Amino acid sequence: MADKESYFEEVEAELKKWQGEINRLKEDTKKFDQGVVTQYYEQVEDLMALHELARQKLQEVKEYGEAHWDDYKHSMDEAMENLTRSYDKLQDHFKSA
């Protein structure tokens, strides 16, 4: 059980960090011209949706017992990887903007 608790704490800390990054990205839209802002903000909105999905997955992982732990942990790990990939893609796309 201690491993699960450590896992939950780690994911919660990562989600909190991601929330800060998403907020920073939203602020960054102010430095782009209007044509780029719309596209950038749409991608930030997509990132926010992935963050919310990851947060929901964490709740699911916490609610299910040992029988489903491996399945939900895998699902949670995938959600966090999707969030990271999406963020990296957004950063690469707008790095030169």
pLDDT tens column, 22-73: 888 888 777 777 777 777 778 888 888 888 888 888 888 777 767 777 787 8
Look at residue 97 in the predicted model and tell me its pLDDT. 55
pTM over 0.95: no
Q: What is the 3-state secondary structure (H, E, C) of the chain?
A: CHHHHHHHHHHHHHHHHHHHHHHHHHHHHHHCCHHHHHHHHHHHHHHHHHHHHHHHHHHHHHHCCHHHHHHHHHHHHHHHHHHHHHHHHHHHHHCCC
Instruction: Domain ranges for the chain, please list them.
Output: 2-94
